[in-house]
């Protein structure tokens, strides 16, 4: 668990996105951003990789 705690300390922002999938069911994805990440600008062109363990 210690490694997970260190990872959480490095995160500066967690973005949780909820929406509707193509099949009409609810979808939720989480994204974690760290200090090492480039400055984040969110718009329709933004591409982010979802984390499986948020």
Give the per-residue pLDDT at 1. 44
pTM confidence score: 0.38
Q: Where are the alpha helices (DSSP H) in the chain?
A: 2-10
- Contacts of residue 30, defined as CB under 8 A and 6 or more positions apart, other chains included, come to 14, 15, 16, 17, 50, 51, 54
Give the per-residue pLDDT at 9. 53
What does the pLDDT average to over 36-54? 62
pLDDT, tens only, 6-39: 544 566 777 788 888 788 888 888 877 776 665 6
């Amino acid at each position: 668990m210690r490694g997970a705690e260190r990872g959480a300390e490095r995160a500066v922002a967690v973005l949780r996105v909820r929406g509707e999938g193509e099949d009409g069911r609810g979808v939720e994805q989480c994204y974690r951003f760290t200090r090492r990440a480039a400055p984040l600008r969110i718009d329709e062109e933004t591409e982010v990789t979802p984390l499986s363990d948020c």
